[in-house]
Structure 1
Amino acid sequence: MSKIDDAVTQDQHKIGTEIGVSDWITVDQKMIDQFATVTHDEQWIHVDPARAAAETPFGGTIAHGFLSLSLASRFAYECLPVYEGQVMGINYGFNKIRFLAPVKSGSRLRGRFVLRDIKKRSATEVQRETGLSIEIEGNDTPALVAEWLSLSIFE
């Protein structure tokens, strides 16, 4: 059996189960401001704390939805397996992303992963579909939920 077949066999029984929960990370105003600068999305609800406090129901600034989503890679490094013989992992895309709750500046986020599917794509690739929920500490509603596709590449 090949290393790719081993990887698929190793995780097929985990389909439908939680495969990891990351550590918390704080999304502070500095991170929000840096993201705004890099993406050229400097809308005031993200970068003007005084105006956001006065004119929004959030009580201050909120993180960009795409900032929360971009943290998925960091969370995945902590939670998703690297298989024997795997030489790299590649983000393949998303089937679905929904932003459900605003992330206020100073909030802590973490990623929760559920394996939805795993299959051999080719002689060098395994595709994994993972359910991702980015949770906000102290909030019942997650910041976002997504169906994330990734590829594990083997030699």
Structure 2
Amino acid sequence: MNQSMYSTIRAGVSYSQNWPLQPELNSMLPENRMIRMTTWSQKILPAIAVLNGWMQLQWFGVTQLPLLVAMTLLLVSMPVQGWYWLGIRSATKLPPNLVHWYQHLVEKLQQNGITVVEREDNHSLRYRDLGLVLQQAYRQLDKAFIRNSW
């Protein structure tokens, strides 16, 4: 896991684009909440940072400029922190119960005649692999499979 910060953030952005944002997954995995929060903060927090900077300049003037810069950088960096977390999460190995669920989903897809690129080494399955299989299952199976497979 010796990745650079930039490649980890890129992996997080890719992971957030490939993860299926389905309501059934909200209670099982934190990815849905983190992806929604990160995309929301990407849209909203830059405007809040500008408003925060303007208000602090109006109230305190340039005497609190270091605090203004620190708060603005914190607000602007929040989406980056979310993508970084998602990048780390995408490269994390699956626990045994999720490996079993992954295998069950692959079997279900194969039973329905859908080709799945299956990993040979089930001990090195990552969350990104689970996300790709879930995305394929949501696209090509009925919506009830998630209740029956978990």
TM-score past 0.5 threshold: no
Look at both structures and tell me which one has the larger radius of gyration over its CA atoms: 2
Higher helix share: 2
TM-score, structure 2 normalization = 0.24
Task: Report the TM-score, using the length of structure 1 for normalisation.
Answer: 0.24
More strand as a share of residues: 1
